[in-house]
């Protein structure tokens, strides 16, 4: 593996910004994480394809990172390459007449929801207040307990490294709770979402109500990665953790939120080790008291 060779091959030779040893705390919503050996900000499909080809040739591991809103990066950093999608991946087309939105993987959910509302298209209101990008949301079938983005995907375009682009229809993909059948080796490029015409005022009112509930129930004022555990069937992970008396529990600069016990927040200066300590404490307490093996929803990078 040669990160240096990859850096030299990509620097100035493709439509991308290539950086060495950038701290992942700058790229994650937790504001936690040591340096990534290599960071590539790809501005075009061609740049992305070349980047993954070079990394494969140099046997350098890589990962696609959106807004880092569901990621806990190691304090030691990541020995591979973090790829970010920009420019060409941030394009979006709204077809109000056909009731569809086609957007690149780098489009933020905030922009996606707001532009759909302005066009009088309903179906994405449940995404309001969810941080991150469309690519990340599709890859984990983000949403709520009752609504998820996979139900809206009509078509999906991915890059199969070494092979080229491939188009899926939405019904070819298995959509599950925080999971899909999309192979982890494939990179989501863009998706077309099928929506429904509706009055803009009604969509806006629904979005406002959902956002108010989210702000009242979740600790949005402090850095976090959102929900830490998946909700077990018919149970709330947050309520289970709270029932174990762990509301407000701390480890270093990290804390299990007293507002919502499925959130672990960075009160200032928290390390990845602090967060992992609380994840294990909450998991083990729930397992011991309720016999429920909570599944972690956070993606770990560099561990």
20 flagged as catalytic: no
Angle at 105 between CA 48 and CA 155, to 5 degrees: 110
172 flagged as catalytic: no
Torsion angle in degrees (nearest 10) through CA of 216, 149, 300, 212 = -10
Give the residue carrying structure tokens 């990962």: 63
Given the residues 88, 125, 190, 297, the one annotated as active site = 297
Helix or strand run (H / E) with residue 200: helix 200-217
Q: How far apart are CA 127 and CA 131, in angstroms?
A: 9
Given the residues 178, 214, 267, 281, the one annotated as active site = 178
Q: How far apart are CA 259 and CA 152, in angstroms?
A: 31
3-state helix, strand, coil in the chain (%, to 5): 30, 30, 40
Q: How far apart are CA 242 and CA 255, in angstroms?
A: 13
Cα end-to-end span (Å), the chain: 18
212 flagged as catalytic: no
Cβ–Cβ under 8 Å, residues 101 and 192: yes
Helix or strand run (H / E) with residue 180: strand 179-180
Given the residues 9, 139, 227, 257, the one annotated as active site = 227
- Which residues carry out catalysis? 178, 227, 297
């Amino acid at each position: 593996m040669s990160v240096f060779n990859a850096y030299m091959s990509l620097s100035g030779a493709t439509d991308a910004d290539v950086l060495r040893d950038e701290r992942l705390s700058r790229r994650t919503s937790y504001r936690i994480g040591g340096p990534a050996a290599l960071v590539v900000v790809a501005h075009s499909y061609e740049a992305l394809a070349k980047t993954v080809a070079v990394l494969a040739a140099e046997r350098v591991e890589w990962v696609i990172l959106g807004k880092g809103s569901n990621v806990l990066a190691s304090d030691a950093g990541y020995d591979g390459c973090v790829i970010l999608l920009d420019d060409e991946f941030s394009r979006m087309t709204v077809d109000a007449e056909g009731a569809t939105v086609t957007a690149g993987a780098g489009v933020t959910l905030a922009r996606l929801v707001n532009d759909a509302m302005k066009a009088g298209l309903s179906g994405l209101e449940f995404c309001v207040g969810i941080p991150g990008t469309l690519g990340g949301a599709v890859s984990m079938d983000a949403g709520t307990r009752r609504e998820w983005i996979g139900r809206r995907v009509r078509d999906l375009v991915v890059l199969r490294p070494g092979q080229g682009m491939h188009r899926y229809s939405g019904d070819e993909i298995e959509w599950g709770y925080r999971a899909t059948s999309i192979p982890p080796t494939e990179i989501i490029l863009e998706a077309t979402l099928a929506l429904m015409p509706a009055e803009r005022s009604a969509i806006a009112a629904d979005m406002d109500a959902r956002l108010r509930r989210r702000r009242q129930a979740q600790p949005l004022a402090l850095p976090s990665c959102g929900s830490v555990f998946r909700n077990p069937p018919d149970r709330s992970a947050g309520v289970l953790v709270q029932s174990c008396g762990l509301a407000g529990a701390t480890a270093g600069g990290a804390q299990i939120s007293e507002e919502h016990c499925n959130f672990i927040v960075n009160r200032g200066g928290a390390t990845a080790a602090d967060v992992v300590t609380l994840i294990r404490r909450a998991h083990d307490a729930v397992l011991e008291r309720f016999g429920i093996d909570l599944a972690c929803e956070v993606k770990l990078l560099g561990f």
